[in-house]
Amino acid sequence: MKMQERAPQTWTDMDDPVRDRILAAFLEAGDRYVSGSELSQRLGLTRTAIWKHIQALSDLGFVFAAAPRRGYRLQSAPDLLLAPLLYRQLPQGAQFGRHVVWLPEVDSTNAIAAQLAAKGAPHGTVVTALVQNGGRGRRGRAWFSPQGGLWMSLILRRPLPLAKAHELTLLTSVAVHRAVRRQTDLPLAIKWPNDLLCRGRKVCGILAEIRAEGETVEHAVLGIGLNTNIPDTDFPSDIREIATSLLVESGRPVSHLQLVGELFRELEPMYDALARGEDSFAAVADEWRAHSATLGQRVRVQTGHRVLTGLAERLDDDGVLHLRCDDGTSVAIHSGDVLWPNSSAGA
């Protein structure tokens, strides 16, 4: 099913609230059987409509036990980022993940999130998909997004000074690092500004797309692509040299629900502090430095149309990278990309 062709009319246009309410009712019931008539009374739906939704949930991997006259009981749920399942992973009062638009297949979750943000989707809305056909990377690059990976975009709408916007992605890299380390014992490193590498190959990319009014970020779409459960054989040969997945590196799948729960638990307070005007990155800069794959390395950095070569000497508490160029000068770089050693365009 492809849903991205039609632009949403309202921000709730791509939600499936009925499915989510039925699922929430089953989760709430726990081991108890729920009858069709109970559901139909509670939700104001016909029994046929409910039965169709149960079928659709079964198609997604939910397993129900059916008993005559007693109804249905949810036996097991798949690891899908559907709102009622994700909700259980979030702390009380959390805004991130309060609304989830879950889609099987899209071009780009960032593109959908931008459309929904323009229609007024609230702060913390998540757009996620099993597959992206036109996943977007930094600098207009394509992002390989097959089934098995974690592809999601978060709508952020607290006003933020534009000058602080670059800290958002740096903070996200620290939050993703923490969340993945809670799930795996893999050695992860952060490549400036915000890629996560495992044993030198990329496992995570972050793409923040910002809409600013003057010097203030009106809203941001924070796209996170994490190569979680993608088998080795699914990577095209050119990408296999520079990218890997957590599954390939650890031999074990990770739970998307737990991972995103951990990630939001880490990221939301960091973002709130940033939006309050606090030096949010400064508070975690030592952690970023401790896991840096960039500092102390000779690197090529693309910034705007320039490519600079030199030693990545230090990252300051504002997230600015200081490069000692070959001619001895020091350059402070606010935004850019560290290129891969053998690439002309980076990855």
Residues lying near ligand BTN in the complex (CB under 6 A): 108-110, 132, 135-138, 141, 143, 145, 151-153, 195, 205-207, 223-225
Instruction: Please report how close the Cβ of residue 230 comes to ligand BTN at its closest, in angstroms.
Output: 13
Confirm if 26 and 36 have CB atoms less than 8 A apart: no
> How many angstroms separate the CA atoms of 268 and 155, rounded?
12
Strands (E), 227-305: 298-303
Instruction: Please report how close the Cβ of residue 195 comes to ligand BTN at its closest, in angstroms.
Output: 6
Tracing tokens 């979680």 back to the chain, one arrives at: 228
Of residues 136 and 164, the one with the C-beta less far from ligand BTN = 136
Tracing tokens 């297949």 back to the chain, one arrives at: 105
Tracing tokens 């990408």 back to the chain, one arrives at: 239
Instruction: Please report how close the Cβ of residue 3 comes to ligand BTN at its closest, in angstroms.
Output: 15
Q: 3-state class of 58 per DSSP? A: helix
Of residues 195 and 249, the one with the C-beta less far from ligand BTN = 195
Instruction: Please report how close the Cβ of residue 194 comes to ligand BTN at its closest, in angstroms.
Output: 8
Of residues 71 and 346, the one with the C-beta less far from ligand BTN = 346
Confirm if 194 and 337 have CB atoms less than 8 A apart: no
Instruction: Please report how close the Cβ of residue 142 comes to ligand BTN at its closest, in angstroms.
Output: 9
Of residues 62 and 302, the one with the C-beta less far from ligand BTN = 302
Contacts of 126 (CB under 8 A, 6+ apart): 81, 86, 96, 97, 99, 100, 101, 152, 153, 154, 155
Instruction: Please report how close the Cβ of residue 69 comes to ligand BTN at its closest, in angstroms.
Output: 46
Which tokens belong to 168? 């958002």
Of residues 84 and 205, the one with the C-beta less far from ligand BTN = 205
Strands (E), 36-146: 63-67, 71-76, 100-106, 126-132
Contacts 24+ apart (CB under 8 A), 29-35: 29/73, 29/74, 31/73, 32/73, 33/65, 33/67, 33/70, 33/71, 33/72, 33/73, 34/71, 34/72, 34/73, 35/69, 35/70, 35/71
Confirm if 122 and 96 have CB atoms less than 8 A apart: no
Of residues 20 and 195, the one with the C-beta less far from ligand BTN = 195
Of residues 146 and 223, the one with the C-beta less far from ligand BTN = 223
Of residues 54 and 347, the one with the C-beta less far from ligand BTN = 347
Instruction: Please report how close the Cβ of residue 94 comes to ligand BTN at its closest, in angstroms.
Output: 20
Confirm if 340 and 347 have CB atoms less than 8 A apart: yes
Of residues 151 and 192, the one with the C-beta less far from ligand BTN = 151
> How many angstroms separate the CA atoms of 136 and 208, rounded?
11
> Which residue is nearest to ligand BTN, using beta carbons?
205
Instruction: Please report how close the Cβ of residue 214 comes to ligand BTN at its closest, in angstroms.
Output: 26
Instruction: Please report how close the Cβ of residue 1 comes to ligand BTN at its closest, in angstroms.
Output: 18
